[in-house]
Chains A and B, each alone.
Chain A
Amino acid sequence: MKEILEILEQNGRATPEQISAMVDKPLSEVKKAIKQAEKDGTILKYKAIINWPKLEKEDIWALIEVRVAPQRGVGFDAIAERIYQFPEVYSAYLVSGTYDLSILVRGRTMQEIASFVAEKLAPLEQVQSVVTHFLLKRYKEYGETFHAPKETNRRLPITP
């Protein structure tokens, strides 16, 4: 099961037939395992990693450090949920260190992000402070590099 997931994590488009050959398990078993994982939420979704900068149609992204006051009984989870429910929030993490939540926000314009921070995020009662960092350039995401030089095959075509 773990190996099937690892293969899908690397390539969401790997077919059950391919996976079955790679892990040396019957096709039916692989299909069943994938279906089960999709059903129970082990596989959340299949997505593509798009190199938007290449099309020069990049959205504006900001990484926001948020300090919040934890609440009795629920800790950080309740306020985290209030924040991550906003569709502008792309990722949200609870982190250790000088602030509590690290959120990645996506918008079409800088203005859109500014108003999200000013009108939605900062006014929340538990939010004590926010520090917004606009992303200038993306180098690597999900293990994939954006600006790496085009992969050239450096191997000789035939070697002993």
Chain B
Amino acid sequence: MPNASPTSTQALDNLISQKVATLPPSGIRKFFDLLSSMEDVISLGIGEPDFVTPWHIREAGIYSLEQGYTMYTSNSGMPELRQELARYLELHYGVSYHPEHEILITAGSSEGLDLVLRAIINPGDEVIIPDPCYVAYPADITLAGGMPIPVPTNERNNFVVRATDIEARITRKTKAILIGYPANPTGAVMSKKEADAIAELAKKHDLLIISDEIYARLIYGVEHICFPGLTGMKKRTILISGFSKSHAMTGWRIGYVAADRRFIQALTKIHQYTLLCAPTMTQMAAIEALKNGETDVENMVQEYNRRRRFMVKRLNEIGLACFEPKGAFFAFPSIEAAGMNSEEFAEKLLLEEKVAVVPGTAFGSCGEGFVRCCYATSLPNIEEALRRMDRFVRKSSLRLK
């Protein structure tokens, strides 16, 4: 396919819907193309675990194929998986969902997010999102016919949205607040106090909370705040999560949505006409992940934690000031010391030192001045990447003088 710019698509192609034609391409696409033409690049630009799915989970997937589990499952997902999931959510977060009516198994949390937005948004409805945030949030809201309303966050509040900033942007059209903590791209986590304030706001203005908790298990030294677990919030929170990050299962495409049955019913309607059901083999593997995967999660978290400490310490040492990210597998250092903007930094770093990071601006305008560095890669890789970044930063600050 030719590499047409979005504007030319708009001008030339009437066959593509306006909404899609005007949708900006993902900010990471450019780097992807640049990177593919280079060798010996160390990439800190990856947003997925470097672990392969634990063997017992893969083996369960293989076994399901051997046994001929190749047919559709129920739209909502296999009953056993939903039961295991209900148990898992209760055990880890103290939230109870009815496996039959309040859980929907989706093809990754991405499908879940798309379903939720399509199910709740009327044309022109506004959905509040943090800036910076995961690239799909504004795009999915737009595709569903809504208006993404970014709320700026910054280093001073550790990139966590504050209730007061949200409240300032609430209008009559506001339908929901979409948040995702621990956060991609910042690694920020939300404290109980902040979460409570947002919960109160949602009650006061009768808003829905869409809580993307895909990184919930990757959390270091603090406790994850599960939004539906907050007092009185279960009925107005839609919980989206999955197995990609916790069990290193990105390529399997398996996730879930847990919410009050009226939402699940609405989501299931769309799901049954679009996906029908999540892949069967994958659901079987997910059952195994829930039943016997705890040690794997713990081991991976421990390993990430070591790399996290190492990366954050080194980033600060080389002059890229970085607040302590307490979740996910990202560090979000300030690149002020290098004296350039995020895109320039990422591009020059890639061309001069062959290290790939993602410019903060790919995740919203408030990401300017920051880059996302993923530590889901081997420690020797992290070490070498930081050695190169150190050289790059020193070179750049000399150029500044």
Q: Across the interface, which residues of B come within 8 angstroms of A39, CB to CB?
A: none
| Chain B residues packing against A (C-beta within 8 Å) | 26, 28, 31-32, 35-36, 41, 43, 45-48, 50, 134-136, 184, 306-307, 309-310, 313-314, 356, 358, 379, 383
B379:A157 contact, CB within 8 angstroms: no
B358:A23 contact, CB within 8 angstroms: no
| Chain A residues packing against B (C-beta within 8 Å) | 3, 7, 11, 18, 21-24, 155-160
Q: Across the interface, which residues of B come within 8 angstroms of A7, CB to CB?
A: 306
Q: Across the interface, which residues of B come within 8 angstroms of A159, CB to CB?
A: 28, 45-48
Give the complex CA separation of A22 and B48 in angstroms: 21
Q: Across the interface, which residues of B come within 8 angstroms of A22, CB to CB?
A: 306-307, 309-310, 379
Q: Can you sample 8 A-B contacts with CB below 8 Å?
A: A155-B50, A157-B43, A158-B31, A158-B43, A158-B358, A159-B47, A159-B48, A160-B184
Q: Across the interface, which residues of A come within 8 angstroms of B310, CB to CB?
A: 18, 21-22
Known: A21-B310, A21-B314, A160-B47. 17 other contacts (CB 8 A): A3-B306, A18-B379, A22-B306, A22-B309, A23-B306, A155-B43, A155-B46, A156-B32, A157-B32, A157-B41, A157-B46, A158-B28, A158-B43, A159-B28, A159-B47, A159-B48, A160-B136
Q: Across the interface, which residues of B come within 8 angstroms of A158, CB to CB?
A: 28, 31-32, 35, 43, 45-46, 356, 358
CB distance from B306 to the nearest CB of A (A): 4
Measured CB to CB, the nearest residue on chain A to B135 is A160
CB distance from B47 to the nearest CB of A (A): 4
A21:B50 contact, CB within 8 angstroms: no
Given contacts A21-B309, A22-B310, are A157 and B26 in contact (CB under 8 A)?
no
Give the complex CA separation of A24 and B309 in angstroms: 6
CB distance from B390 to the nearest CB of A (A): 14
Measured CB to CB, the nearest residue on chain B to A19 is B306
Q: Across the interface, which residues of B come within 8 angstroms of A23, CB to CB?
A: 306, 309
- Of the candidates B28, B41, B50, the one whose C-beta lies within 8 Å of that of A160 is B28
Give the complex CA separation of A22 and B308 in angstroms: 8
Given contacts A18-B379, A21-B309, A155-B50, are A160 and B314 in contact (CB under 8 A)?
no
Q: Across the interface, which residues of B come within 8 angstroms of A156, CB to CB?
A: 32, 46
Give the complex CA separation of A158 and B37 in angstroms: 13
Q: Across the interface, which residues of B come within 8 angstroms of A21, CB to CB?
A: 309-310, 313-314
Given contacts A18-B379, A18-B383, A155-B48, are A160 and B309 in contact (CB under 8 A)?
no
Measured CB to CB, the nearest residue on chain B to A11 is B379
Give the complex CA separation of A155 and B136 in angstroms: 20
CB distance from B284 to the nearest CB of A (A): 22
CB distance from B221 to the nearest CB of A (A): 10
CB distance from A22 to the nearest CB of B (A): 4
Measured CB to CB, the nearest residue on chain B to A151 is B52
Measured CB to CB, the nearest residue on chain A to B314 is A21
- Of the candidates B36, B134, B135, B313, the one whose C-beta lies within 8 Å of that of A157 is B36
CB distance from B48 to the nearest CB of A (A): 6
CB distance from A124 to the nearest CB of B (A): 41
